[in-house]
Amino acid sequence: MKAVLLVFCIFIATTLAYHNLEHHNSTDILDKIQERDGQVYVLMFYSPGHKGGTHNSKTVEDEKELINRVLKKHPSFHYAKINAADPNYKDLIDTCGIVTTELHESPSVLIIEGGTGVWIHGPQTVNKIEEFAEDFLKRSRTSH
């Protein structure tokens, strides 16, 4: 009985988790987000913190909110976090129109499906992505 319960819990945990998009450069991500594959992608662009840190506090706070309020509610979404200072992602940043100087204050988030999306930056980023999430999910169900 315990084994059945354990298997059930593992199944539930995996079905309720969003997908981490594996990537190493711009091409890895651009190939995915430009496909018309019926998938929704959420990309968080951030700038490393000052003095050699990996994130600023706003990035950490926004990512936690994004995970809890959007990604956990939409387990089919694919998520990636991109360090805008990494030169391997320059083409992606240019293609998406991300303004890297804004990332020192807070991250920008792109939600995209079938090559069409929106990016949000500022104090209402997570609220706006949360609003768009349902529309992108509906669109993804009818696009393929």
pLDDT per residue as tens digits for the range 74-119:
999 999 999 999 999 999 999 999 999 999 888 999 999 988 999 9
- At 17, the pLDDT band (50, 70, 90 cuts) reads confident
Percent of the chain with pLDDT over 70: 83
Strand partners, 54: none
Per the CB < 8 A criterion, the answer to whether 83 and 89 are in contact is yes
Task: Encode burial over 47-56: b for 16+ CB neighbours within 10 A, e otherwise.
Answer: bbeeeeeebb
Cβ burial of 103 (10 Å; 0-12, 13-18, 19+) is: buried
3-class DSSP assignment, residue 121:
strand
What's the number of domains the chain is made of?
A: 1
CATH number for the domain spanning 133: value is 3.40.30.10
Q: Which two tokens stand for residue 9?
A: 């819990």
Span 47-70, average pLDDT: 80
* Among 18, 17, 38, 42, CA closest to 29: 42
As a dihedral over the C-alpha atoms of residue 47, residue 53, residue 57, residue 58, rounded to 10 degrees, the angle is: 0
What pTM value is reported for the model? Answer: 0.83
- At 55, the pLDDT band (50, 70, 90 cuts) reads low
- pLDDT at residue 1, as a whole number: 58
Q: Which structural domain range is residue 86 located in?
A: 2-142
